[in-house]
Structure 1
């Protein structure tokens, strides 16, 4: 726990960013801003994953990695913020993340599942506002596609988060509603991305790969089992889908930077 405490304390130190970590282009900013949405859900998923003993070591590593990335990117985005309004959004995100961080540092407990969903949702909402503000800085259609493909990363993690929350006693009606909503949004966005004129052949190839990974995740989400095996299947499938959508979002971001 000491290592993670140090990891999560960095934002208050005012450390300067190394030159290579600074955001130089809007496409990169939208990509990283959107990733904050994903990380808000991935950290929650990992926290819950620790409640399954067989999954716990992997989940702890994912939580540590995600927290480190969230904080590094938050520093970068604060430094990049091109307007006072966007800077204000990231200061609000920093404040709200402090509350979420307190819970993430605590020992996982199924009695805290509803609070976890609440705090992860608050961080997600603030990160989404800031991402949209950055997208609106560009009139290029590709900026919207960077945002949309980046949001797919978040949905992959949100679906896994709510599956694991259901295993730990979250309200079934809430989980069913969020799962249906997120699944429908994911599938609609995949159609939009695949049909976009800005999608290069390489992007379309990766979108096809993502579609295949989505089939695996959707199948795993259909399990009603409370077992560690079911949790592990969803955890792994969500990580695999995330990896492909990370690539797609980066491709769209580079297209924006070249436009």
Structure 2
């Protein structure tokens, strides 16, 4: 049963060591992520499932203790999913789940039952929803940490350049997250999300499936588009 969810962006710049001199620019986003994870802790879950973007369609699963690194961004920093050190063999965490592991590490989730799932932008909305239902059907109280960014096309200097469809798309995502509206998340246009370079579409639609039939209230804790990329933080409980 899904009892709570936190939605956070996952740019590597969220990690201060990666952002370096620009780190203060995302202080508000980091603080909101901490608050969202506090909502998860308050729900007293039996387990936490971290869902984030992956390079392949997936789903790809990662056990507690799976390893992630930010060396690709010029920083010698290692993280472990829900653990202080690695105790799991396997593929390295994709960057989104590595950011999730970093968020968990700074908010005291080491030792808690955690596993990760990576989903890519080629995974259909139907398959994402089905995966979410499978997660919610697990025995006990389940919480989700859902990672992903909105459009990367909000300004001329954005990674995807300016696209006038980006702001309305992000506004609909923000509205759905604020209202804890799984139907609205499930209805997001897969093709448009891909064109707008939205990394969060598939993870959000996993959340939509997991939240079907629940009675959760939502709160949008942060919404902005620094660097021309939409970031949103929300908590459902």
State the TM-score, normalizing by the size of structure 2. 0.34
Higher normalized strand content (fraction of residues): 2
Larger radius of gyration: 1
Higher normalized helix content (fraction of residues): 1
